[in-house]
């Protein structure tokens, strides 16, 4: 009777160049197909977490936020520097015009050059947006201050009763110093 045998091919008798292990070792580890995982997903998830994992995650989060803050500070400093330079240039042109000097405004301010005109437009839009937000902020602060003054005046006049804390009921056996023992 013929039986089917599972035969494995041995490569030991082959020359080293023909052995598959040589060619497998030439492929970087990260590009090789991963071997079958010995443990299942459930057993891997059942393991205890490393307590440092939370601190690592928080460190990454805080670090990335710190980097973003540094980038924002740099961007704000660049914007302020550019805006100050443009304002100084405008101030210089206005002073020359007021002094009666002939000034080629188009040449100085970059009229006709798309790049410089785009920079001026962008800067003016940013200044207008910043001005709008600061106005809104000042208006909100003024309204809050006004409502605080009104409520203070009403409480002084006696029309509004100040809020009293609600009395708490403490059971007889708990009338000792809390957390003493």
At 120-177, the pLDDT tens digits run 888 888 888 888 988 999 999 999 988 888 888 877 776 555 566 666 665 565 555 5
- At 95, the pLDDT band (50, 70, 90 cuts) reads very high
Global model pTM greater than 0.75? no
Q: What is the mean pLDDT of residues 27-51?
A: 78
* CB-count exposure of residue 78 (10 Å: 0-12, 13-18, 19+): exposed
The parent domain of residue 31 ranges over 20-157
Phi, psi of 38 (to 5 degrees): -70, -30
- Cα gap 80→157, rounded to integer Å: 48
Report yes or no on 92 lying in a domain: yes
- Cα gap 162→151, rounded to integer Å: 10
Whether the pLDDT of residue 104 is over 60: the answer is yes
Whether the pLDDT of residue 89 is over 60: the answer is yes
Report yes or no on 136 lying in a domain: yes
Dihedral sign from CA coordinates of 19, 20, 25, 28 = positive
Report yes or no on 162 lying in a domain: no
Average pLDDT, the chain: 79
| Residue 161 pLDDT | 56
- At 181, the pLDDT band (50, 70, 90 cuts) reads very low
Report yes or no on 14 lying in a domain: no
Count of domains for the chain: 1
Report yes or no on 147 lying in a domain: yes
Report yes or no on 56 lying in a domain: yes
| Residue 153 pLDDT | 81
Report yes or no on 175 lying in a domain: no
Report yes or no on 164 lying in a domain: no
Q: What is the mean pLDDT of residues 83-106?
A: 87
């Amino acid at each position: 009777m013929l039986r089917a045998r599972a035969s494995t091919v041995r490569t030991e008798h082959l020359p080293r160049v023909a052995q598959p292990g040589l060619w497998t070792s030439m492929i970087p580890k990260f590009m090789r197909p991963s071997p079958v995982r010995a443990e299942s997903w459930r057993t891997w998830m059942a393991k205890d977490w490393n307590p440092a994992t939370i601190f690592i995650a928080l460190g990454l989060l805080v670090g990335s936020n710190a980097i973003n803050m540094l980038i924002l500070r740099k961007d704000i400093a660049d914007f302020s520097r550019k805006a100050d330079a443009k304002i100084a240039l405008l101030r210089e042109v206005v002073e020359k015009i007021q002094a009666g000097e002939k000034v080629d405004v188009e040449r100085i301010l970059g009229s006709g050059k798309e790049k410089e005109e785009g920079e001026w437009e962008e800067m003016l839009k940013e200044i207008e947006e910043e001005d709008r937000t600061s106005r809104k902020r000042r208006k909100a602060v003024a309204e809050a201050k006004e409502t605080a003054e009104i409520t203070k005046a009403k409480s002084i006049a006696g029309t509004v009763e100040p809020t009293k804390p609600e009395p708490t009921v403490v059971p007889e056996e708990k009338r000792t110093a809390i957390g003493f023992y």
